[in-house]
Amino acid sequence: MSAKVIDGKEFAANVRAKVAEHVARLKEANGITPGLAVVLVGEDPASEVYVRSKGKSTVEAGMNSYEHKLDADTSEADLLALIDKLNNDPAVHGILVQLPLPGHLNSDLVINSIDPAKDVDGFHISNVGLLGTGQKSMVPCTPLGCLMMLRDHHGSLSGLDAVVVGRSNIVGKPMAQLLLGDSCTVTIAHSRTKDLAEVCRRADILVAAVGRPEMIPGDWVKPGATVIDVGINRIERDGKKKLVGDVEYESCAAVAGAITPVPGGVGPMTIACLLANTLTACCRANGLAEPEGLTA
């Protein structure tokens, strides 16, 4: 069997187009422009690239982008004061503090100081609790993007065996909650799981989010399964730099029913879902109907 390749780039372009269309209608009918504030502390080069890309995509979708770049030695008090200002700014509907933060800042404290209604990352403990109890919340962008692609491919996910490899707060745990919400039987596995290969072979849906290059080979995949590869790992092979996922693409694609490539799979969906979450937050803040198909 050769797997259907799930084109995340195309999927993300459709999500962005839907967001842009809804934003244009909001402006026209209600005179409201959604706004996203992104806060970057320090000069981590990878974070700078992400933040630039988020700002550009926000403007392309017709929304306002507010970038706040702070020095690496910014005090916690100053960062919290900025977040308080953004929490109280009616033009700002979404707030994202780029992680990782410099070591002297307490990330949990900072994230939990964001107004949960503006927490477009879905990392605030209130949103984590709301998601875990099946209530309306802001949902983390990467797992939301994975869910959208899975629903599109399968229709209903009800009753399917899902295995999520990875237990991070950003991807693994919320992914598992979303799959449970769609009535999958969910296993969260990780690097200490006993007989990980056997656990993975049970999966109708296998989500790899461990951050280890090509850790999952094709013989861990059930024939016909859907493989969602969240990993983005930079490696060097034969003297060339290369991006690879957490699964061994060629061997997995030979067995799977469908698979997301790296690059061009899950990656593009993250920013698309950030835009979707900003729009959702704006609609909720204004008591307007939420965009269809763009939330969990």
The residues in 109-138 that bind ligand GUN, with binding defined as CB under 6 A, are 121
> Among the candidate windows 17-25, 71-79, 90-98, 202-210, which touches ligand GUN by CB under 6 A?
90-98
Is 177 catalytic? The answer is no
- CB hemisphere CA count around 100 (13 angstroms): 5
* Between 46 and 197, CB nearer to ligand GUN: 46
Q: Which of 224, 219, 255 lies closest to 154, judged by CA?
A: 224
Measured between alpha carbons, how far is 242 from 233 in angstroms, rounded to an integer?
Answer: 8
Q: Kindly state the smallest distance separating residue 68's Cβ from ligand GUN, in Å.
A: 13
**70 contacts ligand GUN (rule: CB under 6 A):** no
**51 contacts ligand GUN (rule: CB under 6 A):** no
* Between 202 and 212, CB nearer to ligand GUN: 212
* Between 247 and 273, CB nearer to ligand GUN: 273
Active-site position among 18, 118, 121, 222 = 121
Q: Write the single-letter amino acid at 148.
A: M
Q: Which of 77, 95, 24, 69 lies closest to 277, judged by CA?
A: 95
Backbone angles phi, psi at 294, to 5 degrees: -115, 5
> Residue 287 contacts by C-beta under 8 Å, 6 or more apart in sequence?
none
The residues in 169-188 that bind ligand GUN, with binding defined as CB under 6 A, are 170
> Among the candidate windows 72-80, 97-105, 183-191, 200-208, which touches ligand GUN by CB under 6 A?
97-105
Of the candidates 99, 199, 232, 254, which one interacts with ligand GUN according to CB under 6 A? Answer: 99
Three-state DSSP class for 72?
coil
How many helices (DSSP H) and strands (DSSP E) are in the chain? 10, 11
> Among the candidate windows 54-62, 66-74, 93-101, 213-221, which touches ligand GUN by CB under 6 A?
93-101
* Between 61 and 269, CB nearer to ligand GUN: 269
Q: Which of 234, 195, 276 lies closest to 16, judged by CA?
A: 276
* Between 172 and 257, CB nearer to ligand GUN: 172
**96 contacts ligand GUN (rule: CB under 6 A):** yes
Is 98 catalytic? The answer is yes
**98 contacts ligand GUN (rule: CB under 6 A):** yes
Three-state DSSP class for 120?
coil
Measured between alpha carbons, how far is 268 from 291 in angstroms, rounded to an integer?
Answer: 20
Tokens representing 284? 């909720």
Measured between alpha carbons, how far is 30 from 68 in angstroms, rounded to an integer?
Answer: 27
Is 85 catalytic? The answer is no
Catalog residues that contact ligand GUN under the rule CB under 6 A: 96-99, 121, 141, 170
Enzyme catalytic residues: 54, 98, 121
